[in-house]
Amino acid sequence: MKVTKIMALKLLVAITLTIGFTGCSKKGSTKGGSSATGWKINDKKGGFQYNTKFKQQETPPGMVSVEGGTFTMGKVDDDVMHDWNNSPTKQHVQSFYMDETEVTNMMYAEYLYWLKSVFPPSDEKYKNIYNGAIPDTLVWRNRLGYNETMTNNYLRHPAYADYPVVGVNWIQASEFCDWRTNRVNENILEREGYLKKDAKIKDVTADANFDTESYVNSPSKSFGGNAEIVKKKVMGQSGKKQVGEDVKNVYAQRSSGIILPEYRLPTEAEWEYAALALVGNREYNIYKGQKKYPWKGQYTRSGKRQYRGDQLANFKQGKGDYGGIAGWSDDGADITNKVKSYPANDFGLYDMAGNVAEWVADVYRPTVDDEANDFNYYRGNVYTKNKIGADGTVEFITSETIKYDTLSNGKIMARSFPGQIAQVPVDENETYLRQNFDKSDNRNYRDGDRQSTRYFNFGDSEEDAGKDKTNERMYHAPMHKIDVDSLGKMDKKYDRSDKRTTLIDDNVRVYKGGSWRDRAYWLDPASRRYFPQDMATDYIGFRCAMSKVGPKNNKKTPRGNVKSK
């Protein structure tokens, strides 16, 4: 009898525990599997592959992290130039990466070497690729000055290796960013075992090279479709050991987490935010006043005891004074100077004032339209999509289909390189019933389009709307043209009209920061000027930026929060 009671009691306890474990469970077991289906992720036998061990974006070579935030964009002091083009606006910028220094002559020389090696200018098909990328060294010449030393040596001589590159127009700077994207991702994929080691040096040719977007869309066609170079592996493996043919594996994808976003020119808002570096001028969440320069204080000279009186940037101090008195130089330079010659700002960025001014991505307009957008502000979006060929797959640029643009100054530049995917404007398939954009070219959105002009008539008939209204543009800038015949002869047509009212059009870009040629006024990060995108000078350079994917900062726990149990 007692035995029966004891057995019954044990059975009751076992049932109770079973019910407790099954009934009180808050979530199903997903160990090693999907939270959606319970299926195993990254199974070597096949199925869904995803980088479940991703922690954070790899810091790109030569860059520093800039945590995004809110700031007042534009001038807060008197506008002594009376440009009225930088009224204060409240903006928010997402976190991003920015080059620690301006792009140097040595960095740009590496780009030129790669172009010359892969697209030899001795080949008639490629000569304009290399020639179109060479900086304009004649920018150093002056009618009443002797600067031939810089003309002949500044770009190539190792004495200037770490000096910022100049003579580069906005288009050339943008193409350098594209090239850098491809070379950095190519190196990462080689490191992770997705590309054959040293193929980037030994096996690269004009028709067999690496392009990031081409690889993402059709990896098997990278390097001319050479399967010995472009490899597969199971997602998440270290890359030290290749997987056998009997195992289901994949090429690297966006979901691999190792392919970096594109290098690009920073937007004006990003550049100004990074230059101000208000992170070093606040207490908790309160800014301790505005900053006039990238450094603290209202003066251009250092107040620190050991450096007191030293200039904090390279700029023109007065008429005929580019560097100071010989033997006791004010800023240590008369033209440009080596990068990192002056203290970094509180983000760790060098030369955000002085040395050279810098191209940014934006098309110039006198006003920043914060009523339309106050998040990652940027004017200049021209949306495109991949061109689909007759076979239903993406169409790649080949050596026979390269297209070149003849700029207004006669310089010929490649619009795209072999190995890249051909691009076409977005059409109604992408814009139909959308609220956020309705056309491909948005440079004139809310400013500069025909609907904004005083000539626009809402009652125009279809015949009137189709007429040429070139002279009824919002910005009546000169229109220089160059016609090229079948033999390559150029007919240059300089616009000599005396009725032009501005130099602003869709092809002028903003540049920021003062340079070695500028007075202290232009060192203010809020100052903004513009220059034609296809022209270069001896005082404008550039640096690259990259968007940060994932969280705003890399802290494990957000401020003021605790981890949920």
Residue 467: per-residue pLDDT:
63
Residues of each domain in the chain carrying CATH 3.90.1580.10: 57-175+261-380+507-555
Query: Where are any strands of DSSP class E within 415-466?
Result: 423-425
Q: Which residue has the tokens 């059409």?
A: 427
What confidence tier does 486 reach under pLDDT thresholds 50, 70, 90? low
Report the pLDDT value the prediction gives residue 205, as an integer from 0 to 100. Answer: 94
Summarised one tens digit per residue, pLDDT across range 130-180 is: 999 999 999 999 999 999 999 999 999 999 999 999 999 999 999 999 999
Per-position DSSP letters for 263-302, written without gaps between them: PBPPPHHHHHHHHH-GGGSEETTEE-S--SSSSSSSSSB-
The one-letter amino acid code at 419 reads G
Which band of pLDDT confidence, cut at 50, 70 and 90, is reported for residue 242? very low
Amino acid at 391: D
**Cα four-point dihedral sign 425, 429, 430, 436:** positive
CB atoms within 10 A of CB 502: 13
Q: Look at residue 466 and tell me whether its pLDDT is greater than 60.
A: no
Residue 392: its pLDDT value, please? Answer: 87
- Per-residue model confidence as pLDDT tens digits over 252-306: 999 899 999 999 999 999 999 999 998 767 767 766 667 889 988 888 888 887 7
The DSSP string of 355-384 is: SSEEEEEEEP-SS--TTT--BS--S--B-E
Residue 193 phi, psi (nearest 5): 90, 10
Give the separation between CA 435 and CA 385, rounded to whole angstroms: 19
Instruction: Compute the distance between CA of residue 139 and CA of residue 167 in angstroms, rounded to an integer.
Output: 6
User: Residue type for 96, please?
Assistant: F
Q: What percent of the chain has pLDDT over 90?
A: 58
pLDDT confidence of residue 238: 45
Judged by phi (left if over 0) then psi (alpha if -120 to 50, else beta), residue 554 lies in alpha
Report the relative pairing of strands 540-541 and 357-363 from DSSP bridges. Answer: parallel
The DSSP secondary structure of 165-204, one letter per residue, reads P-S--HHHHHHHHHHHHHHHHHHHHHHTTSB-TTHHHHT-
pLDDT confidence band for 536 (50 / 70 / 90): very high
Q: How far apart are CA 135 and CA 129, in angstroms?
A: 13
Closest listed residue to residue 269, CA positions, set 98, 504, 475: 98
Question: What pLDDT sits at residue 13?
Answer: 56
Give one DSSP letter per residue of 109-149, joined into a string: HHHHHHHHHHS-TTSTTTHHHHHHHS--GGGG-BTTB--HH
Distance CA 311, CA 318 (A): 13
Quickly name the fold that domain 57-175+261-380+507-555 has. paralog of FGE (formylglycine-generating enzyme) (3.90.1580)
Instruction: Output the pTM of the full model.
Output: 0.89
pLDDT at residue 243, rounded to an integer: 43
